[in-house]
Amino acid sequence: MPDHLRRPAARRRSTRITAALGLGMAAVLALSACAGGADKPAGASTPEALEDFTFTSWNYGEDAQKALIEEEVAGFTDAEGITADLVSYPFAEYRNQILLRSRDGSTTGAAQLDIADIQSLARLGVLEDLSPYVEAGGYTDAALANGKVDDKQYGLPWYTGSIGLISNTALLEKAGITETPKTVDEFEEALKAVKGLGGDIVPYALATKPETIKDFIPWLKTFGSKVVDGDEISVNDKGAVEALTWITSLVDEGLVSLNIGRPEARTLYSQGKTAFFDDANQVRGTIASQAADPTLLDSTLPISRPVVKAGDEPQALAWGGLLVVFKEGPAATASEFAAYLSSDVDTALNRFEKIGSVPTTTKALEDPIFTDDAYASTWQEQITDGASPNPLWVFPEYAQMEAKLAEQIQAALIGQKSPKDALDEADKAMQELVK
């Protein structure tokens, strides 16, 4: 193992770190897991001397993570006596800033990147291939998949998570449901039992507002839709139509309500008024702060999404952040840093304990610090391990495509169009955006 990857704790002094462009703050869900005291993988070239470099991260502009990131970066820089310049842009501006500045070479070193944007950045040809660092990093397959484009590892997983189903077991037991529903039919029966409790309960607080259209993607895939087939949009295939037809039937039966977004779903759950809702794995902090009943977390169980028939793979939407390295500038040093920050077990577990960010390596996930947390480990096993990125993210125009899909799904939910007609129109409009 090279000396610059050993970094004993005793050598982690405070480093000189300069901040630039720290404009404003952004409220984001993205969190992190850190990296690399691993053996040097074959194929990765160690620079003769490490250089000063830049690390760009939106989280560095937020009070909740600024000090933590400084500590983590110092774990890499101090042992070598080099400097990391920390740069931050507000999350709302971050994607555009990175895309624009990477084109002219003004962004160098390593950077945090939302997994939704790896395809767009990789297509520009500005990223280093970090594949040589994969084997020694010990990452999970699910985490690695988020940073891979055309079989090349352009992003190392800094943190990863998923959007999945959360259930209120106490409310379900009150309705007579003592077993977690495994199939769509069992899920629907559970919803009907919960509705039978009466009152203002919403059995399934599916986020039906347009801005949370991504929550429909796992259901489309559950019924067999490809969503994307090569360069072809496929949101009107048989599986997608069956999925939307089923969801509209849940609306018609009062098992799902319109005009619910992520905040409304969280409120309903915190008040004990819904049995199921979709959210990211770190939502338990919100539940704990909002819960009307202090024992609600004891009844909160992450579950695999029900399948159409036994044996099908449960679907979940992956989310998370990557560490990418630009070809321009001190790429070799930045690559060493990205490998360190994304795979160092002690760093990852410290981050998990401080802010709940789930590690991305098998070794960290098997540590008692993580496994003794029943909620986190259950979520990992039931949801994140099988999660996959949104298929639409392969297109730079994915945001516009999601807007087109949201418009037509809304039309179906309110009965303005049939699910088939709505998805046909969505498919056509989205395909026109493919370049």
CATH of the domain at 283: 3.40.190.10
Could you read off the pLDDT of 249-267 as tens digits, one per residue?
999 999 999 999 999 999 9
* CB of 120 closer than 8 Å to CB of 396: yes
State the average pLDDT for the chain: 89
On whether both 108 and 63 belong to a single domain, the answer is yes
My answer on whether 66 and 137 are in the same domain is yes
Parent domain of 310? 163-316+392-426
Are both 236 and 354 inside the same structural domain? no
- Closest among 216, 140, 144, 139 to 390, alpha carbons compared: 216
Express as a percent the part of the chain with pLDDT over 90: 81
**Could you read off the pLDDT of 54-103 as tens digits, one per residue?**
999 999 999 889 999 999 999 999 988 999 999 999 988 999 999 999 98
Same domain, 92 and 150: yes
Q: Do residue 183 and residue 135 come from a single domain?
A: no
Residues 31, 151, single domain; the answer is yes
Q: How far apart are CA 273 and CA 194, in angstroms?
A: 10
Q: Is residue 434 part of a domain?
A: no
35: exposed, middle or buried (Cβ count in 10 Å: 0-12, 13-18, 19+): buried
Domain shared by 312 and 322, yes or no: no
pLDDT band at 274 (very low <50, low <70, confident <90, very high): very high
User: CA 310 to CA 313: how far, in whole Å?
Assistant: 9
Instruction: Give alpha helix (H) positions in 207-330.
Output: 217-222, 238-252, 262-270, 284-290
Phi, psi torsion values for 367, nearest 5 degrees? -75, 145
Q: Do residue 267 and residue 398 come from a single domain? A: yes
Do 145 and 182 have their domain in common?
A: no
Of 363 and 38, the one with more pLDDT: 363
Query: Domain for residue 304, yes or no?
Result: yes
pLDDT at 48 over 90: no
Residue 400 and residue 259 share a domain: yes
DSSP-assigned beta bridge partners for residue 56: 87, 111
Q: What is the pTM of this model?
A: 0.83
pLDDT of res. 304: 98
In a domain, 433, yes or no: no
Reported as a pLDDT band with limits 50, 70 and 90, residue 46 is: low
Tally of domains within the chain: 2
Q: Are residues 407 and 263 in the same domain?
A: yes
Based on the fold, state whether residues 290 and 312 are members of the same structural domain: yes
